[in-house]
Amino acid sequence: MTDISELIRLATEARDAAYAPYSNHPVGAALITDAGDIFTGCNVENAAYPLGSCAEQSAIAAMVLGGGRTIRELVVVGPTDAPCTPCGGCRQRIREFAGPDTLVHACNERGVLLTMTPGELLPVSFGPENLK
């Protein structure tokens, strides 16, 4: 099992590679799948704001490309000491690939600031089972 400090280190490295010239709010994410594979992502902004991508979105896309489908644990590191929690769109993306016991950690470089489950992130959520 991967130590949370390793996920924080990787998310911090991803954050440091982010492209955030408009918001000046670089974010990095690192996730580990149920198979133990690790994927990272950073936010990438665009002058046409809706075309940017979030760090969580980037990490999830890398996971899917790598064959992963289930997030076991996710770390998000923002630019300040305040918890950087996923936006609404990313909460829905996390919900798509997370189980009820998945842990989502908002961190700074030194450690975990806040830990949530998908149910706490997005209560009464809409998911794949609603389409059956």
**87 in a known ligand binding site:** yes
Q: Is the per-residue pLDDT at 20 higher than 60?
A: yes
User: Of 6, 56, 73, 96, which residue is the catalytic one?
Assistant: 56
pLDDT digits (tens, 9 = 90+) for 32-55: 999 999 999 999 999 998 899 999
Q: pLDDT band for 25, please (50, 70, 90 cuts).
A: very high
Q: What is the pLDDT of residues 74-93, one digit of tens each?
A: 999 999 999 999 999 999 99
Q: Helices H, strands E: what count in the chain?
A: 4, 5
- For the domain bounded by 4-122, which CATH number is listed? 3.40.140.10
What pLDDT, in 10s, does the model give residues 89-131?
999 999 999 999 999 999 999 999 999 999 999 999 998 889 9
Going from N- to C-terminal start, the domains of the chain cover 4-122
User: Does residue 120 have an active-site annotation?
Assistant: no
The answer to the question of whether 30 is labelled as a binding residue is no
Report the b/e string of 44-70 with b at 16+ CB within 10 A.
bbeeeeeebbbbbbbbbebbeeeebee
Are the C-beta atoms of residues 71 and 36 closer than 8 Å to each other?
Answer: no
The reply to whether 54 sits in an annotated binding site is yes
Q: Check the annotation: does 108 bind a ligand.
A: no
Q: What is the pTM of this model?
A: 0.95
